[in-house]
Structure 1
Amino acid sequence: MAASQRRFRPIEQCATEGRSRQSVAADLDGTLLLSRSAFPYYLLIALEAGSLLRAAALLASVPFVYLTYVSFSEPLAVRAMLYVAVAGLRVKDIERVARTVLPRFYAGDVHPEGWRVFRAFGRRCIVTASPRVMVEPFAREFLGADVVIGTELEMDESGRATGFVAEPGVLVGDHKRQAVVREFGDKLPDVGMGDRESDFDFMSICKEAYIVTRKRYRAAPRDQLQSRAVLHDGRLVRRPTDINTLLTFLWLPLGLALALLRVHVTRRLPPRAASAYKLLGVKLVVRGHPPPPPSPKNGRAGGVLFVCNHRTVLDPAMLAAALGRKVTCATYDSDDDSITSSAPLVTLSGNRDLDAARVGRLLDEGHDVVVFPEGATSRDAFLLRFGARFAGLTDRIVPVALHARETMFHGSDPYLFFMNPRPAYEVTFLNRLPRELTCGGGRAPGEVASYVQKALAAQLGFECTSITRKDKYRVLLTGSDRRVPLND
């Protein structure tokens, strides 16, 4: 293999000037991605489209797959891992995970040199041993690939993956070369990029070929990718390498017991006992200036309308703890009471006038009310239908940005959040809207709602256009991945 590598120059020597009219064919794992192993992405498919048991089975297969890869063949190792990961799953579910879960993890694993070269070309082709259905959404949207050639899954008549691969088989070695020839015909790629011996066949037919060596690099900044928005619709925070996955499974029994304790205490914890969260290992960070409670001393007779992004079911409880007093939560889902019993609920009926009257009456009586406009998103901007309904009820509107920090598990479910070893909640109170920006100052309800939307988006770093129930996880990439989705 060392002798074969000397035929190809290292990727660092590839010039990118004047490549806009040329074509490139590149491998994915180890070439455009830093990781040479596709295991984390198979694991995500097994977990998110399958089950925890399937993910555990895939983890248990790692020694066998590695031994097969080293001692026998790469195609056989890929077939074994693929069978455990997808056999019996609906292909539609695999596509959903590939679209909503995998891009976030792929985007944090892009090889800076591979991406520097790949992005310079006018026609970009990715040829990979991974299933095409698994990599294509990310490859097209974030890497700007024009063509994605990958291993094709075999499906039965019901649309489920059999666990086997369709002809011509796993795309490694000569199969990769043949796939490139079929795609490009007589006009072969100007540049070929790969990282291992099984890539050499297709690299050798390209006019130029460069190999990605195992030098240590940090992942390319995410804001340099083709798309600046990413989805987070999965249950894991970190990329599930074999070691990370093993540690996660070892933590599960203790994490579940800890979550049950935290949920039990939270149900009974009064708002003024926020310091008790520290004893549970939960960090509550309060930023900004929470408005004082209604009192003749501060001249406040009516309640405050808190408008928040929706992060988890714990939002009302955490807001109440940050304020140190009860708030009434306006919601369409009375089941939220299972975890936020410390926050009184007003269940909305869906009748615009009736709901507005009920909330308005609470505000007039001095009750603080919290609404989560994302609970009724549509093809309009996320506040404009739900938020505008309440914007005219009061001039006392305070936007609140909620950010849940997790280290292991992600999701809106309180048990998932509390299973993290050291979870944290950040509650940021933004400035109360000045009267001239409220309906009392002559603004239309839609204008007020739009202003609040933009204020929350600016605080949390979110995209602020046409967030819908389907894609409300979109968040702008700013080089780091600290920000969380607006909703889960």
Structure 2
Amino acid sequence: MANSHQCTSVASELEGTLLISGNLFPYFLLVALEAGGPLRAAALLAVYPVVALLGAAFSGDRFPLLVMTFVSTAGLGIGEVTAVARATLPRFFLNDLRGSAFRALVRHAGEKYVVTRLPRLMAEPFVREYLGADVRVVGTELRIVGRRFSGTVASPGDTTDDLGHGALVTLFGRERIIDVGLCSGAAGERQPTFLQLCQERCVVSTPEKAPATPLPRSEYLRPLVFHDGRLVCRPDPLPCLAIVLWFPLGVLLSVTRLLLGFLPHGAGLLLSAATGFQISAELGALAAVDRRGTLYACNHQTLMDPVILSTVLRRKVTAVTYSLSGFSELIAPIPTVRLTRDRSRDRQIMQSAVAHGDLVVCPEGTTCREPYLLRFSPLFAEITGEVTPAAVRAGGAMFHGSTVRGHKWLDSVFFLMNPAPWYEIRLLAPVVTCGGSAGTSSRDVANSVQQMIGDELGFECTGLTRKDKYRMIAGHDGVDARSSPSKLS
């Protein structure tokens, strides 16, 4: 194999080499669902078995790929598909990224190419962010009519079945111009035909000696902190079918669980457990103390954080919100208070609320799905002389309970549609705030509480904010167009 200093160009196929799986259906399904909606996703799921069988019998990969491209993108706006490619697809790509292939690609100097049978637009944000900004993506181009996709490809390539190979031929011609082509070498796996254009082949994994394993999170070129989309698991055909079949029962179960939230706390806990909703709590020394007027500061997993805290404390806790939907306020079994984003006014509102009972705040200002904590806003540390940190973890097997681009008013509904959603809450030792300790700033208190919660959960503390999340996922900062990049602290 060519030495990394002698090698001037290297190419690898995305699916089947860099990605462990060569199945492209999940990525088209994600575009259809997140950019087009459930009806488009259902249409793709319905036609996929037919086109896959026809492709296997007559046309190879080309026909299924062209049909999936058409069904998933026809009529969609450029911005809609781009947003899904930037905010939703990278998490699923990373979960399937072959560690050995990734290392082989990044250690090479010179020109790097990733060849894919996907439309280039779907793969490029992931490749540039997580494989290297210098890596060039070679794939088919989607035709655009006005500001929308026609569903057809502009450059399907040559007459071979491999659209990725065809795109590379279109770009360079048929001469052998790539020094090294990476391939998986797995027995029985489809080998990409673009390797015909490479001077040398490099096998990055041999299952008999080193089974393919996903790249560990610790080796990501950059941390995956933010992502969007409702689905938790990779939407392969069978899991998709299971979700479709579960959906009606899931809706009924979600409504039932929402109604149980209005029952007395003891009964609500027991009946929720009977539906499969698992709630565990560690209250520490506070378990035997019935204190009123306590300020709780917790990390933010879903909109239900304050509700679950109220349930385990077995008393009403008021929650502060910024932009909670009317529907979410309607179904909330606890009192909510709207803040104004005016610091002095919000301080007065929160001080009034805590004077009349318990209050819970989520200083991150937005939810975070991954094991990271966003920067804590320090306002909560100016309300009372003491704050009780609450470390929160939550999850479900099918649906995420938070979204940026989707229908946020359905967040709690989707979370409770999971077959067995779970919540863990741990109350930590109270912290004296700047109101109770001279010389201590609210920023220091906020950082201290963030670190306490991070250490308890095993989460990494960051300096990222709500604005960073919205800018990355939705293309704006959630409030206005002005924001600047923030980095991990």
Q: Please show how residues 76-475 of structure 1 align to structure 2 within 5 Å.
A: 76-122=63-109, 123-144=111-132, 146-157=135-146, 159-169=147-157, 172=163, 175-179=166-170, 181=172, 188-194=177-183, 199-200=192-193, 202-210=194-202, 215=207, 216-270=211-265, 273-287=268-282, 289=284, 291=286, 303-333=293-323, 335=326, 336-341=328-333, 343-365=334-356, 367-375=357-365, 383=375, 387-412=377-402, 413-434=411-432, 440-458=437-455, 459=457, 461-471=459-469
Residues 1:168 and 1:405: Cα distance change in structure 2 (over 3 Å): closer
Residues 1:429 and 1:162: Cα distance change in structure 2 (over 3 Å): same
Spell out, residue by residue over 1:308-334, the C-alpha distance to the aligned partner (whole angstroms, 9 max, x if none).
222222121101112222211122346
Q: For residues 330 and 401 of structure 2, what CA distance do their matches in structure 1 show?
A: 17
* Cα offset, 1:284, TM superposition: 0.3
Counterpart of 1:239 in 2: which secondary structure?
coil
Spell out, residue by residue over 1:202-255, the C-alpha distance to the aligned partner (whole angstroms, 9 max, x if none).
312322114578835332223223222243311011001111111111111111
For structure 2, which runs of at least 5 residues remain unmatched after alignment? 368-372, 403-410, 473-489
Q: Percent identity?
A: 34
Aligned to 1:70: 56
Contact 1:35 / 1:109 at 8 angstroms: preserved in 2?
A: yes
Residues 1:153 and 1:221: Cα distance change in structure 2 (over 3 Å): same
Counterpart of 2:10 in 1: which secondary structure?
strand
* Cα offset, 1:344, TM superposition: 2.0
Q: For residues 473 and 243 of structure 1, what CA distance do their matches in structure 2 show?
A: 34
Could you state the TM-score of these two structures normalised by the residue count of structure 2? 0.82
Could you state the TM-score of these two structures normalised by the residue count of structure 1? 0.82
Counterpart of 2:249 in 1: which secondary structure?
helix
Counterpart of 1:328 in 2: which secondary structure?
strand
Residues 1:463 and 1:151: Cα distance change in structure 2 (over 3 Å): farther
Contact 2:375 / 2:464 at 8 angstroms: preserved in 1?
A: no
Residues 1:427 and 1:69: Cα distance change in structure 2 (over 3 Å): same
Spell out, residue by residue over 1:430-468, the C-alpha distance to the aligned partner (whole angstroms, 9 max, x if none).
332146x76524211222223323333443524512223
Residues 1:286 and 1:45: Cα distance change in structure 2 (over 3 Å): same
The answer to whether structure 1 residue 54 and structure 2 residue 40 are counterparts is yes
Spell out, residue by residue over 1:137-194, the C-alpha distance to the aligned partner (whole angstroms, 9 max, x if none).
111111225211111111111x111100012548627514414526xx9893221124
Amino acid at match of 2:339: L
Contact 1:272 / 1:325 at 8 angstroms: preserved in 2?
A: no
Q: Over aligned residue pairs, what C-alpha RMSD do you find?
A: 3.0
Counterpart of 1:140 in 2: which secondary structure?
helix
Contact 2:396 / 2:415 at 8 angstroms: preserved in 1?
A: yes
Contact 2:176 / 2:197 at 8 angstroms: preserved in 1?
A: no
Aligned to 1:8: none
Contact 1:286 / 1:427 at 8 angstroms: preserved in 2?
A: yes
Residues 1:425 and 1:290: Cα distance change in structure 2 (over 3 Å): farther
Contact 2:113 / 2:136 at 8 angstroms: preserved in 1?
A: yes
Contact 2:155 / 2:167 at 8 angstroms: preserved in 1?
A: no
Q: For residues 413 and 251 of structure 2, what CA distance do their matches in structure 1 show?
A: 8
Q: For residues 461 and 86 of structure 2, what CA distance do their matches in structure 1 show?
A: 18
Spell out, residue by residue over 1:75-123, the C-alpha distance to the aligned partner (whole angstroms, 9 max, x if none).
2221011111111111211111111111111111012332232222123
Amino acid at match of 2:108: F
Residues 1:113 and 1:332: Cα distance change in structure 2 (over 3 Å): closer
Aligned to 2:483: none
Aligned to 1:24: 10
Q: For residues 175 and 383 of structure 1, what CA distance do their matches in structure 2 show?
A: 47
How many residue pairs get matched?
A: 443
